[in-house]
Amino acid sequence: MSKFTVIKSEDAEKYLTYQERLCLGAFIGRINFCRREAEGKDVNDYVVINRDEPYIDEVTDIMKKHGHWEE
C-alpha cells in the first residue's frame, strides 16, 4: 500500500454514487477521529503536486534537503 492516497474531490463526485461518497466520508471521518482521540494527533493538511508539473524537480529538491523525500 502507498504511504498516501489522494482522491480528487471532483472525481469522487463524478465517479462515485451517493452511497459510496457517504462511505468514503465515513472512512475519512473515522481515521480523523482515531488520529485525534486515540493518538492525540491533529488532522493533517496536505499539499499535493502532480509529478508532471514543470517545477517538480525544484519541489523535490527542497523536500530532499529537509529529509522529506523517499526515492
Residue 71 has pLDDT above 80, yes or no: no
* H helical segments located in the chain: 9-15, 18-37, 56-65
The pLDDT tens digits of the residues spanning 4-19 come to: 899 999 999 999 999 9
Cα 16 to chain centroid distance, Å, stands at: 18
Query: Quick one: pLDDT at residue 60?
Result: 94
Pull the grid cell for residue 21. 461518497
Contacts of residue 41, Cβ cutoff 8 Å, sequence gap at least 6: 35
Total-model pTM = 0.71
Residues 40 and 32: beta-carbon distance below 8 Å: no
Q: Cα Rg for the chain, rounded, in angstroms?
A: 16
Residue-level pLDDT at 11 = 98
pLDDT digits (tens, 9 = 90+) for 16-59: 999 999 999 999 999 999 989 988 888 888 899 999 999 999 99
